[in-house]
Chains A and B, each alone.
Chain A
């Protein structure tokens, strides 16, 4: 047990269903009934609010969201508001940190950043961290005295005992307009970006497939 990682690619899954699956898996993982598992999937448009969200970071109310076909969930993960939608690769690692001998949530956040960051780099988008802001940011600078950091992936984690759930959301070729509903992660200063936007004309036609491969490989390398 311990070090094996099973990756399951699920395609498009409604948020509530994915939540239930995570719940089931993490209970199974806690009983030792399944190995560490990484779920890779995408969601139909949905806004989720983490435990540390502040209401002013939700810019549209429930009705206005519904009118745009966006669901709203309040969930037991750390962090503020975020948006998921088609074109975004969501990863939910259900991992027993204690069994891996690494019961440290900050180290886990850094592992997630590294995995997603390595995948971005493999696809030709250099990444960086910004101290104090969990997440994966594009490293390439933009001109101007005060460029806004461009965020590629958001991270928010839940723990029951030492088993993780929730995880990361990497914007591959997401329609970034969805983020207009919220102040992403409560960071008004951050601009949301995507791999497609960073790559511009260099973006391959099958970017979605490649991104999934890259993320899968990056995490198998780190956790497999």
Chain B
């Protein structure tokens, strides 16, 4: 019998990944059937994954602290190998746990189609590709395999594993499972920390910057979003004179009572949130083949920190007054910069506003923050000459103008609601009826 792979079980419908919090066994150690092998943490749950069979731990395939998707192989157990450590007591094997169905390393069973992780199946479905056509580097098709197939790369480059580390299959894992005549392989598999390059040969003097975990998450998210959502852009030119007026009127009093300056950001959030109430289609997610319009509005605000881009979320932004929004944004932004945000404060956004800040530019289209369907990006506010009709006469006047760019997911949102939404944001800002 060949070795058995133990995968991260599907812990629930909405659980897509888990973090390896602790290994409970070592390589070369004998384990009983049902003995806990590893602790995996996800949200408020700590799950122990038990061994599906008795045997010897051949290789731990992931490290503590790694976050891996459901279906990832965690550890291999060889039921036939001799223990290199003295065996512990043996008991009768109880029925296998539903949550930890062993994935035999034998080839596909009859009539099952290719083996694939649930995420890979979903990805293939989204991309409209047949799993039969996808080449896998492992025994199961993974998201990375599907992406590679869709990306029409000329087959996997054998000598150069792909860059994305968590999606990559390190070379050592591609090997055939240990044959019976081989001893249990105690050697640790190659770890993922070596950067590798596709189609680029390092030149003298090049600087190699390994991706930080945050950078990797951002990179993966951007690719996922662009592949998932057909982005459409629309831009509104907004006269901010009214908002300027309100802000100037209250600036001093606000600073005195709140201890920080009143910026333009809360005005824009406030207008966006009100418009979202009227156009719920923009406050939505695509879930399977349905569109879910969300009851609550939680506004993500993209903030640049020295560690990179983070998007803290103002919860129930529609329940907050303008001053309340200003306070919440100030609080989140300052804690984001001092790295004091809890992970929960970065989750659960239903729409996002991106503010490039002082070094902004005319306008630009942001990538949608999945699983949302829309994102606004502020352009710089610049005084421009515009034409207004004043007292029946056309006149060129000087006004502070901001371009506001909306990217929306055309799967869920058609032009009409998107344009209606953006138009409404503009009207609210130009009318500038804000209570302070």
Q: Which residues of A contact B (CB under 8 A)?
A: 30-31, 50-52, 76-79, 98, 103-109, 130-134, 145-146, 155-162, 186-189
A159→B328 contact, CB < 8 A: no
The yes or no answer to B34 lying at the interface (CB within 8 A) is yes
With beta carbons under 8 angstroms apart, the residue of B45, B94, B340 that contacts A159 is B45
Tell whether, in the assembled complex, residue B321 and residue A145 are in contact, meaning their CB atoms are under 8 Å apart.
yes
Residue of A nearest to B39 (CB): A76
Cβ B344 vs Cβ A133 within 8 A: yes
Q: A145, B99: Cβ atoms under 8 Å?
A: no
Residues 1-41 of chain B, each 1 if its beta carbon lies under 8 Å from chain A, else 0: 00000000011111100010110000000000010100101
Further pairs besides A131-B296, A157-B45: 10, Cβ < 8 Å: A50-B44, A78-B44, A78-B45, A109-B44, A130-B315, A132-B347, A146-B324, A156-B44, A158-B47, A188-B340
By a CB distance below 8 angstroms, the chain A residues around B12 are 103-108
With contact pairs A145-B321, A146-B320 given, residues A105 and B42 touching in the complex (Cβ less than 8 Å):
yes
Q: How far is the CB of B373 from chain A (nearest CB, A)?
A: 17
The 3 A-B pairs of least Cβ separation, nearest first, read: A145-B324, A104-B12, A132-B348
The complex places the Cα of A9 from the Cα of B99 at a distance, in Å, of 30
Q: How many A-B residue pairs have CB under 8 A?
A: 118
Given known contacts A109-B43, A146-B327, A162-B97, A104 and B11 CB-to-CB distance under 8 angstroms: yes
- Residue of A at shortest CB range from B12? A104
Q: How far is the CB of A79 from chain B (nearest CB, A)?
A: 5
The reply to whether A160 and B11 contact each other, CB–CB distance below 8 Å, is: no
Assess whether B323 is interfacial by the CB under 8 Å rule: yes
CB of A162 within 8 A of CB of B46, answer no
On chain A, the residues within 8 Å of B13 by CB distance are 104, 106-107
Contacts of B22 in A (CB 8 A): 51
Q: Does B50 contact A (CB under 8 A)?
A: yes
**Which residues of A have CB within 8 Å of B99?**
98, 103, 159, 161-162
CB-nearest residue of chain B relative to A101? Answer: B98
From B332, which residue of chain A is reached at the shortest CB distance? A189
Whether, in the assembled complex, B342 has its beta carbon less than 8 Å from a beta carbon of chain A, the answer is yes
8 Å CB contact of A30 from B15, B94, B296, B328: B94
A144–chain B nearest beta-carbon distance, Å: 9
What residue of chain B has the Cβ atom nearest to residue A144's Cβ? B324
A77 and B46 form a contact (CB under 8 A): yes
Contact assessment for B342 and A186 in the assembled complex, using a CB-CB cutoff below 8 Å: yes
User: Known contacts A106-B15, A145-B323: does B48 contact A159 (CB below 8 Å)?
Assistant: yes
Q: A31-B94, A51-B21 are in contact. Are A109 and B344 (CB under 8 A)?
A: no
Contact of B348 among A78, A131, A155 (CB under 8 A): A131
Closest to B326 in A: A145
Name the contact of B39 in the complex, choosing from A51, A157, A162 (C-beta under 8 A): A51
